[in-house]
Chain A
């Protein structure tokens, strides 16, 4: 191996640092400022309009070719189901959207539909090390299950606990979730199946930027009806699906402590160090190693010499 000189060590280290800094600045500009594709579509979910008919669930089941449900879609006993820890129903590999009922002390119950919120900066996407996820320009967060290795990192990363794992499949256990009906509808400019099916106009489909305006306008015009907040406008960097509610959001199990910055930002400080560490540390430590062992090598040679001298004498 070529012997490392002090000059070489310094030049390599500086080069690595410069490359690291370049990558770092690129990252810093990219993340955090992305507010979604300008033509991205979205959905405004108005909880005050939902009557819990579950037609959206039936429509999703048919559109996505999901298996037969345990109970008919007009069976409202599912609203009484409770799972461990008193949890209400969640999305799973066979139900990409579910509606839950929240009984109120006063007035009728409030219903809440759950499905993927299609984040502007999806944590599932950034967490996926095989790059299975894609945020399309139409606003959908889709995934390629052919490359999914089943690591379930996206399940951990998703702040809304949406991606579900097909545990029941022995041959092809992959992640499954709502894809905004991308393959069959959204990419052809059509709204998702649940939205076409909803009889109550709970779901309003349109360009996300317009929906934000419509949401605030609806609150302004009916200030007695709505809580003055649009959930999803800013949560985790903004989501394509946003919500209006007549009751405080925490009462219908929305996480109101959700950060406003993208989940990626949490890892950004750490991740931005990685290129620098990879570029500089090998050179740095190799340099240290060479410097610190040079004396020993010289000493060895000297001792060999002296041994020889001793044997000669």
Chain B
């Protein structure tokens, strides 16, 4: 191994062992998170969690109040000012995979005391949060910039090898 590579390795190990200032305390951060809810249409998207922790100052933008950092959003802070790390910090712990199933809807309606009646589903939460931030921060915006479309996806969108052939007249209007 060349001296340069050894040095680089040592620097990396040291950097990884440093406490992340102001960031989620007492938590083991995942390097990547596989987002594969849309796997029938798109390949899973490998979310580079480590990279995002480096470029984003505020974990609460994604994790709201769950990782022990008081939220900066004034509205949320009225209730969520605690510095406790919640048991559930993953998106899916609060954002339902099937937010409109009869089961979920009736459960939600039965819980009249719940303040948050309008929680986006998991897929919506990802896209609303990720895409809006990407648009603001100049990140990638195209669907396939994050997840490649599968053949099933092409069939669904009638695209690629499933694209309509021939000169069909358009809409009758």
Contacts and interface: CB of A to CB of B under 8 A. Distances in A.
Interface of A: 49, 51, 53, 55, 58-59, 61-62, 68-75, 81, 83-84, 87, 89-90, 92-93, 95, 108, 167-168, 189-191, 195-196, 198-201, 204-207, 210, 213-214, 217-218, 221
Nearest to A61: B158
Chain A to chain B: the 4 pairs with minimum beta-carbon distance, closest first:
A201-B124, A189-B102, A72-B159, A191-B100
Contacts, number: 95
Contact of A190 (B101, B121, B127): B101
A58 B157 contact: yes
A92 B159 contact: no
Contacts of B128: 49, 200-201
Given A87-B173, A201-B120, A201-B127, A69 B100 contact: no
17 contacts: A59-B156, A70-B171, A71-B164, A72-B158, A72-B159, A72-B163, A72-B164, A83-B173, A90-B173, A108-B135, A190-B101, A200-B124, A200-B131, A201-B121, A201-B123, A204-B118, A207-B105
A95 B170 CA distance: 11
Contacts of A59: 156
A69 B109 CA distance: 39
Contacts of B164: 68-72
Given A51-B131, A70-B164, A201-B120, A89 B171 contact: yes
Interface string B17-48: 00000000000000000000010000000000
Contacts of B127: 199-201
B75 interface: yes
Contact of A195 (B100, B157, B172): B100
Most chain A CB atoms below 10 A, which of B117, B128, B173: B173
Given A68-B164, A73-B158, A199-B123, A210 B171 contact: no
Contacts of A58: 156-158
B117 A214 contact: yes
A89 B172 CA distance: 10
Nearest to A165: B172
A198 B170 contact: no
B100 A206 contact: yes
Interface of B: 38, 75, 100-102, 105, 109, 117-118, 120-121, 123-125, 127-128, 131, 135, 143, 156-159, 162-164, 168-173
B172 A92 contact: yes
B109 A207 contact: yes
B169 A70 contact: yes
Contacts of B156: 58-59, 62, 73
Contacts of A191: 100
A108 B120 CA distance: 22
Given A191-B100, A199-B127, A92 B120 contact: no
Nearest to B121: A201
Contact of A81 (B124, B157, B170): B170
Contacts of B75: 221
Contacts of A61: 158
Given A201-B127, A207-B105, A214-B117, A74 B171 contact: no
B159 A198 contact: no
A181 to B, nearest CB: 12
Nearest to A84: B173
B158 A218 contact: no
Contacts of B120: 201
A70 B117 contact: no
Contacts of B123: 199, 201
Contacts of A89: 171, 173
Given A70-B170, A90-B171, A210-B109, A217 B159 contact: no
Nearest to B163: A72
